[in-house]
Amino acid sequence: MKKQYQLFSLLMLLMLVISGCSTADQSKKSAGQTKEKNVALTVSAAASLQNALTDIKAAYEKAHPNVTITYNFGASGALQQQISQGAPVDLFFSAAEDKFNQLVQKGTIEKQKDADLLGNDLVLVVPKDNTKGIKDFTDLTKAAKISLGTPESVPAGQYGKETLSNLNIWNAVQGKVVYAKDVRQVLTYVETGNVDAGIVYKTDALISPKVTIIATAKDSTHKPIIYPVGVIKDSAHVKDAKQFYDYLHNAKSVRTFEKYGFKGLNE
């Protein structure tokens, strides 16, 4: 009887040990399932989106502590070239449809996750202490220097050249143009008085206390200013990139864009 009791006790102890191990394994598995993997997303975006996207980044990272968003701001044409050459990017937020569509046509951007999200206006700005008597686009003939984004790579420059051409003053002012790498550089040239006037997006002009908006280009003078955004098909974090893409479309994000002067577009 004593041996039987000892054997029974050993069996019970063994079962308790096995049960304990199994519970511990389950706990580890559960912990592993609930802990989210840290993700770093890279978003290439037009320079004019910098302020709005910085606010959105703060809100998104607070709601998703496992995600870190890194922005690469610049001219849409330059960003498109970088992506075409294999730059590791998860989303592209362009200020021009043509640059964006080149990547869509190549299959670089997922068609299910691309959309025209925002609109903008093109404006003429001068330094606060403007003394040249420039009050409209047609007065640019009075300027000694005018700044414009390089049309081949900067959408705002492309729209600006188109506007001046349609107003029949491009030939008269072409020799006065100081080209810039993006709209923020144009704004800086105007703020510092290095040029007498510049053509930028309304959203850029609104953030500067050193410039005055003196005219807004009519929609009929240039192609529609549209900002498309899309997920890069070969993203290393497609699921998380799609979640951030969806977040950019929600009402809270659209209100942030509108706060900085952008126009939300109905899809």
Q: Name the residue ranges covered by the structural domains of the chain.
A: 39-119+226-264, 122-221
Task: Determine contact, residues 137/169, Cβ cutoff 8 Å.
Answer: yes
Query: What tens digit of pLDDT does each residue of 215-241 get?
Result: 999 999 999 999 999 999 999 999 999
Per the document, the length of the chain is 267
* Mean pLDDT for the stretch of residues 8-35: 49
Q: Of 3.40.190.10, 3.40.50.2300, 3.40.50.170, 3.40.50.300, which CATH number belongs to 39-119+226-264?
A: 3.40.190.10
DSSP symbol at 86:
T
Residue 134, C-beta contacts closer than 8 angstroms, at least 6 positions apart = 124, 126, 140, 142, 143, 196, 197, 214
Cα–Cα distance, 112 to 93 (Å, whole number): 15
Token pair belonging to 147: 């700044």
Mean pLDDT for the stretch of residues 183-212: 96
- Cβ distance 219 to 163 under 8 Å? no
The yes-or-no verdict on residue 111 having pLDDT over 70 is yes
Mean residue pLDDT of the chain comes to 89
Mean pLDDT in residue range 67-72 = 98
| pLDDT value of position 159 | 96
pTM: 0.79
Residue-level pLDDT at 257: 96
pLDDT category of residue 130 using cuts at 50, 70 and 90? confident
Is there a shared CATH topology between the 39-119+226-264 domain and the 122-221 domain?
Answer: yes
Angle at 196 (CA atoms; ends 159, 145), nearest 5 degrees: 75
User: How many other C-beta atoms can be found within 10 angstroms of the C-beta atom of residue 249?
Assistant: 13
In the CATH scheme, what architecture does the domain 122-221 have? Answer: 3-Layer(aba) Sandwich (3.40)
